[in-house]
Amino acid sequence: MKFTVTEHARKRCARRGIDLQWISEAIQNPRETFPDLVDPDATHLCYDVPQRGFRTLRVVVNDSVDPPRIITAFFEG
């Protein structure tokens, strides 16, 4: 699936060791989704990453644009 990544998200993913393929998987197969409490255009996607012992990756995406824009991503906990 096509998506764009903000510079902020790109830097955070590099620092946190988050593979862009995992973000793609989160977009296509989220375990859970919920709206952002502040930004009405943002959605949080949760995806359990097998390569990281099924830790939950949270991806914040602006899905009101085409293609969706990744705002940030991080592992919970």
Is the pLDDT reported for residue 5 higher than 90?
Answer: yes
The domain total for the chain is 1
pTM: 0.93
Domain assignment of residue 31, given as a range: 4-75
What's the pLDDT tens digit per position in 30-42? 999 999 999 999 9
Burial class (CB in 10 A: 0-12, 13-18, 19+), 4: middle
Question: Cα–Cα distance between 28 and 51 in angstroms, integer?
Answer: 17
What pLDDT is stored for residue 74 in this prediction? 98
9-67 pLDDT, tens digit each: 999 999 999 999 999 999 999 999 999 999 999 999 999 999 999 999 999 999 999 99
Whole-number pLDDT of residue 73: 98
pLDDT at position 1 is 74
